[in-house]
Amino acid sequence: MKQYQSTTILSIVMLSIAIILSGNVFAQKPQKPAAATVYEIGKTGPAGGIVFHISDGGGSRVRGHHGLETAPADLGDAPWGCLTVSDIPGAAGYKVGTGAQNTADILADCTEPGTAAELAANYELNGYSDWFLPSVQELKLMRENLYIWSRSDSGFGFHDSFYWSSTEGSDVLFSIYIYNQDQNRDPTQKDIPQRVRAIRAF
């Protein structure tokens, strides 16, 4: 009887050691993380806008996980605003990635209601409210990567008109004529309404 008990105890001890050494056989295996969504230029972005730039790989890719999307339609016409203010501090960002800061700087120093920057910043789509007025280079990318498709009736809704950017240099404003990419550099145009299209980064 004692020999049977000793054998049983030994078996239990050996089983316990085996379980400990195995790293808990009852634990769930870790789940693989879900694959990140891949977005494509000309397709729907995470907020429901239209992807026009992929920043992965230095901005040379058509598909990726991060980039810029534009609102699916124009927000209407609005002036750039603050005609009597010659230079908004900080709103001189020209490159891709500077539109959001430009917009914040415009709103901080131009309290005039109904400006292009305010229209873009107040835009909301599918619960996303982090939209802004594009810098001049962001606006150019929108034209270059979506304009051709728009002219082929893809529904991107661009108009044969000027679109405001958020970029302001010293006594210079930038807007892009979406159909031929001319630049309007006349500072007296601040009070003239032009088309507004908001964008956001993802």
Structure confidence by residue, pLDDT tens digits, 80-117: 999 888 788 889 898 999 999 999 999 999 999 999 99
pTM of the predicted structure, to 2 decimals:
0.78
* Enclosing domain of residue 123: 70-201
* 30 in a structural domain: no
* 145 in a structural domain: yes
What the block records as the tokens of 189 is: 């145009």
* 190 in a structural domain: yes
Contacts of 151 (CB under 8 A, 6+ apart): none
CA distances to 82, 119, 200 from 160, in Å: 25, 20, 23
Contact between 79 and 193 under an 8 Å Cβ cutoff? The reply is yes
Contact between 164 and 196 under an 8 Å Cβ cutoff? The reply is yes
Q: Does residue 29 or residue 74 have the better pLDDT?
A: 74
* 119 in a structural domain: yes
Give the DSSP letter of residue 95. S
- Cβ neighbour number for residue 36 with a 10 Å cutoff: 9
Whether 126 has a pLDDT exceeding 70, the answer reads yes
* 84 in a structural domain: yes
- CA 112 to CA 117: how far, in whole Å? 10
> What pLDDT is recorded for position 16?
56
| Number of folded domains that form the chain | 1
